[in-house]
Structure 1
Amino acid sequence: MLTGTVFPGRTELGTGFAVLGRFLAGLLALDALVGVVGVGLAFWSSSVIGRWLADIEAVDPAEAQRHDDVYLATGVVSALLVLASAVLFVVWLRRAYGSNRVDPAALRFGAGWTIGAWFVPFLNLVRPFGLVRDLGRGLGDRAAGAGLRWLVPAWWAAWLGMNLVNSVSSTLSRRSDDLAPVESLRHLHRWLWLDGVSSAVTAVAGVLAALLVLRVTRALEVGRAERPVPTDAGS
């Protein structure tokens, strides 16, 4: 596909798409930053709980409350950022995938899958990756130098890893609710290393997703408003 080619019968991207892409990339970068904070928080929490276990009678209720408040606040901020980023990513992907700057001959799936693929069990482990990979192929020579060949699989591997580790971490955390106070602390102390890993993977996934969004958005902006190809070239 020649740089600047547009395909009739598909949706024109307005200037707001670039704004959406930059805003989404910023949110994803914030996700990554919160992940980095989470790694430090896991180390801090491990130190605090380790001190409590060494002398359980010396636990300060006020310090324990601060510890819980910090963890709760970080968790709420992280959850809100992930939710906002996920919604905007789907909106961004839908607009990019259906645009007239992507060769439809490279797209194996209908545009509706950019939304539905995330909600179908098991299929959501592979279909979103296929959608983004096809989107990169549909960019043709616009994607030259964007590094999408390695970036797309790296992003998806990090996304899957983040969800897997987060799921295991959340399950192990809930198990401490049924234990006696001291045993609960011991369990949490053992679990915190996994919480740190979860935060680190979240940071990596956020960085890769931000890079992906920025690079694809820039590629879609190359040669804007140049000549359309004949109608049969997009079929």
Structure 2
Amino acid sequence: MLCSTCRLRPPVTDDGRCLLCAGPAGAAAPMPPAPAFFAPQQYLRSPEGLAKAVVVLLTVVAVADLLAVAAGMNVRRVLVAGMTDDFATYDEAEATLADNLSGAAGVLQTLASLATAVVFIIWFRRVRLNAEVFDPSMQPMRPGWAVGAWFVPVANLVLPRRIAGGIWTASAQTNTDGSWRSVPGTVMNLWWGTWVCSLVTSQYAARRSWKAEQPQELVDTAGLVAATDAFDIVAAVFAILFVRRLTRMQGERAALGGYPLGTQGAAGRAH
């Protein structure tokens, strides 16, 4: 639509005239309001349900590791028994069964670990977003790194722990008088230390296992793999303690009030 008088410019007045044709009266004509843009509101969302799922899956991982240890030691036993008489009385059927049990345990480990990793990262992102509400100044990296940091080669041995430290500090409950209260990060450090050690040792054991050809090498690697599986159980236990402790800390911090609540309620009110 153009000005009803000059047919050259867009109208700005109620009677359809442009700014020039309307004269001084048009100068005071109200202009359409500019659209307003608002930063998205940060809300607390309960990590309790995700934490329970992570704990259950970590328990499954520990059980799968335990079965893998038993299967690995059985493989080692069969190999050692065969080596005693230079495999003269080696039982092929028993060896095949031992290999099949070891393979089944390995598949269970892989499936359990993948499912746990997915749910754990979702939980980790949830507590990181809550930490942004509690105290963004304590966060060393942006929220998106709570997911991305796990997929950066080599750096994923450091960055997630750095992010976890910021979450831990921001989630520490303040005292009743409003003063800051620090919470020792022993559980967090044990979780991260055992996880990194488990990851490194399992990679080393896998490489040794792929290269093993001689009977004695197979025996040694079977014992090494069983030992790394046993250590993975320890890492899973510390991971459970870390998840439960941090989730409880966020619930205590949210219970102090004064934070915006999301559709799922505050972190401390969904227990």
**2:258 & 2:118 partners in 1: Cα distance?**
31
**1:145 & 1:38 partners in 2: Cα distance?**
42
- 1:214 corresponds in structure 2 to 244
Kept after mapping to 2: 8 A contact 1:102/1:135: no
**2:66 & 2:79 partners in 1: Cα distance?**
20
- 2:55 corresponds in structure 1 to 25
- 1:84 corresponds in structure 2 to 115
**1:157 & 1:52 partners in 2: Cα distance?**
38
Q: Larger relative CO (CA 8 A, sep 6+): 1 or 2? A: 1
Paired positions, count: 215
**1:104 & 1:160 partners in 2: Cα distance?**
27
| Equivalent residue for 2:219, pick from 189, 204, 208 | 189
Q: Equivalent residues in 2 for 1:155-166 (5 A)? A: 155-166=191-202
- 1:113 corresponds in structure 2 to 145
How high is the TM-score relative to the length of structure 1? 0.82
- Alignment CA distance shift 1:102-1:151 (3 Å): same
Matched, 1:202 2:224: no
Deviation string, structure 1 residues 149-201 (Cα, Å, up to 9, x no partner): 1111111111110111111110011113xx4xxx2x32110212211221121
Cα distance, 1:60 vs structure 2: 1.9
Q: Which has the larger radius of gyration?
A: 2
- Alignment CA distance shift 1:105-1:9 (3 Å): farther
- Alignment CA distance shift 1:66-1:12 (3 Å): same
* One-letter amino acid of the structure 2 residue matched with residue 139 of structure 1: S
Cα distance, 1:224 vs structure 2: 4.5
- Alignment CA distance shift 1:223-1:191 (3 Å): closer
Cα distance, 1:96 vs structure 2: 0.8
Cα distance, 1:128 vs structure 2: 0.4
| Equivalent residue for 2:207, pick from 166, 171, 192 | 171
- 2:127 corresponds in structure 1 to 96
Greater per-residue helix proportion = 1
- 2:80 corresponds in structure 1 to 50
- 2:23 corresponds in structure 1 to none
Kept after mapping to 1: 8 A contact 2:43/2:259: no
Q: CA RMSD in A?
A: 2.6
Kept after mapping to 2: 8 A contact 1:34/1:203: no
The share of aligned pairs that are identical, in percent, is: 27
**1:197 & 1:121 partners in 2: Cα distance?**
25
- 2:44 corresponds in structure 1 to 12
- Alignment CA distance shift 1:146-1:63 (3 Å): farther
* One-letter amino acid of the structure 1 residue matched with residue 45 of structure 2: L
